[in-house]
Amino acid sequence: KQEVTQIPAALSVPEGENLVLNCSFTDSAIYNLQWFRQDPGKGLTSLLLIQSSQREQTSGRLNASLDKSSGRSTLYIAASQPGDSATYLCAVQKTGANNLFFGTGTRLTVIP
């Protein structure tokens, strides 16, 4: 069974800091890994999707890396802003499965 864990569960940083969110998964037979953002009471916004053959993806101030063999992914956020405050979720799609397995999430607060 695929288990996805995110550390830390919550993180507070002052505005302007660079930060790293971690995601680990137990089964390395994944097709892709996706990072989402969720604002309180809202749906999920896709941030980055990394195919299993890729090592990283970048979008603006966000950079996600994937090390499939060790079962880890990181989301790097540069120059954090108060608007980045949200819960960040990683999700993996196992090879041969169509659904996503979600992590427990990291609640990020960026303090002005």
The contact set with another protein (CB under 8 A) reads: 31-32, 34, 36, 41-46, 49, 51, 89, 91, 93, 95-105
CA distance readout (Å), 95 to 34, 36, 52, 55:
14, 20, 10, 17
The residue (of 48 and 80) whose beta carbon lies closer to another protein is: 48
* Closest distance to another protein from the beta carbon of 63 (Å): 19
CB 25 within 8 A of CB 70: no
The residue (of 63 and 104) whose beta carbon lies closer to another protein is: 104
